[in-house]
Each structure stands twice: as C-alpha cells, then as structure tokens.
C-alpha cells in the first residue's frame, strides 16, 4: 500500500493512448509529449525496431511499466483490431487513438499502379478508419478522443502524388464522419502539418525554398509543434472541438 495515498481513495488509472508510427520523427515527438502529460502508451511501429526500442527504454526510464511496443503492418486488415485488443489487454483501457503512421512516395501520373494506389490508401485512410472502429467501444467507455494526422496536401494536392493527396483527403472526410458517428462520447479531429520535416528521400533546394516562400512564418515547423497540437486536441481544453482539421503550417498559402 502506498502510505501517501489514503486507504479510502481509489487508485486512478492513467490515461492510455495508442500511437501508430511512433518510432521516429513526428510520431516519436507525439509519444514523448503524451507520455510527459501522463499517458501510458502503446507504441506501434513496422520496421523501426532499434528506434522503437530506444524510445520505449527512454520513456520507461521515466516511468516504469508505462509502454508497450507493438509491431504491425497496417496494410494487413487483421492486424488493426489486434492492435486495439492488445493495447486494452495490456493497460485495461483506451483513452486516445493517434493515427500518425503514413505511407508517402511519389506516383507521377502515367506511372501509377493499382498496387501503389492500394498501399497509399491502406495506410493513410483504411487503417485509421478500422482502427477507430475497433477502438470505438473502449473510447466511448473512457469518453476519449481520436486525432488523425492529415496533411496540407489533402486540400492542395501535391503534384506527382495524386493517390497520396487523395488518401489524405479521404482521411479528412473520415475524420468528420467519425466525429458524427462517435458523438457525443468521443471526439475526432485531425492535424494537418505543413513543412515540418522534409521527405526522407530528399527534395530539391529550390522546391524547399518555394514552400518556405509560401509560408507566412518563413520557416519550417518542428515535430514538437505537431505534438503540442495533438496533445491539445486530446485534452479537456478542446472538449468542445470535434470534426475539425487544425492546420499547423505556419500560414502556408500553397
């Protein structure tokens, strides 16, 4: 028994969040922010074994027993309800779902294959929806929330990336649908990042400068900017916000 807690005061369970694509970049920043806010975390990844292990060790050093590492290919439908079930099995509840994992690669018109289309839609749109569907009973019980990571290109398509842009547009529409379907117990919102981290496959310097020139603040943002927006949308401070897309893009015009 904890001597600092009166015997008649029930132990309050910590909030639990499932974060997809949590190993690196924006996903890792979101995980750190939510963990610092008191969440226990189910940390999903696909192939970033070393990175997810390091992140879990870092968070566990702060609060033991607060993380669970889950590996899954989000394009495989059966793995989606399994991720939710394993999270609830480990922590006993689910308060937040953060659909951060994304698939992004160029698909110039005239070269797009059905497989590329299916891969981009599977991770960027289908997986968030079916994860939300599987999570819905647990989120309702906790009066929880969903945050989907959209993209500025959902509304302003990126040349050479038509299926990706369409998939993110679908995710925005799904976010608004989920807000209607799950109300009033569960809120669903999205965050649309602008220039935060440049694509890992590289981008010409001129293209980067053009993006910055079209951004009112004239600079890139940080993963922590996105993490702060996600945390706010999950918090009680955003308790009257649902079905919205929060653009964290520095005032980008295009």
Catalytic residue among 39, 153, 164, 240: 164
Q: Are 175 and 148 in contact (CB under 8 A)?
A: yes
**39 is annotated as an active-site residue:** no
Q: Are 105 and 201 in contact (CB under 8 A)?
A: yes
Lateral strand order in the sheet of 96-99: 67-71, 40-45, 16-19, 96-99, 145-149, 187-193, 245-248
- Number of Cβ atoms within 10 Å of the Cβ of 172: 18
The span from the CA of 154 to the CA of 162, in Å, is: 10
Cα radius of gyration rounded to whole Å, the chain: 18
Alpha helices in 145-204 (DSSP H): 162-182
User: Tokens 């649309």 belong to which residue?
Assistant: 192
The span from the CA of 147 to the CA of 162, in Å, is: 23
User: Rounded to whole angstroms, what are the CA distances from 208 to 202, 203, 247?
Assistant: 10, 7, 19
- Number of Cβ atoms within 10 Å of the Cβ of 11: 7
**Which sequence positions are flagged as catalytic?**
164
């Amino acid at each position: 028994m904890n001597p600092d807690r009166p015997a008649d005061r029930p132990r309050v369970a910590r909030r639990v969040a499932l974060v997809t694509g949590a190993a690196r970049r924006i996903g890792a920043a979101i995980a750190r922010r939510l963990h610092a806010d008191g969440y226990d975390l189910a940390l999903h990844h696909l192939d970033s074994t070393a990175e997810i292990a390091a992140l879990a060790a870092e968070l566990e050093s702060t609060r033991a027993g607060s993380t669970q590492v889950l590996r899954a290919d989000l394009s495989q439908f059966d793995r989606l309800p399994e991720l939710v079930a394993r999270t609830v099995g480990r922590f006993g509840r689910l308060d937040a779902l953060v659909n951060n994992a994304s698939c992004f690669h160029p698909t110039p018109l005239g070269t797009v294959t059905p497989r590329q289309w299916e891969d981009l839609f599977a991770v960027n749109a289908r997986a968030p929806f079916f994860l939300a569907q599987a999570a819905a009973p647990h989120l309702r019980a906790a009066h929880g929330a969903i945050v989907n990571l959209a993209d500025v290109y959902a509304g302003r398509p990126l040349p050479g990336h038509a299926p990706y842009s369409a998939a993110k547009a679908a995710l925005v529409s799904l976010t608004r649908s989920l807000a209607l379907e799950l109300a009033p117990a569960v809120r669903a919102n999205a965050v649309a990042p602008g220039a935060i981290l440049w694509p890992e496959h590289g981008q010409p310097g001129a293209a980067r400068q053009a993006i910055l020139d079209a951004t009112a603040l004239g600079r890139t943002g940080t993963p922590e900017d996105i993490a702060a927006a996600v945390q706010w949308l999950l918090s009680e401070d955003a308790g009257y916000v649902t079905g919205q897309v929060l653009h964290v893009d520095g005032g980008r015009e295009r």
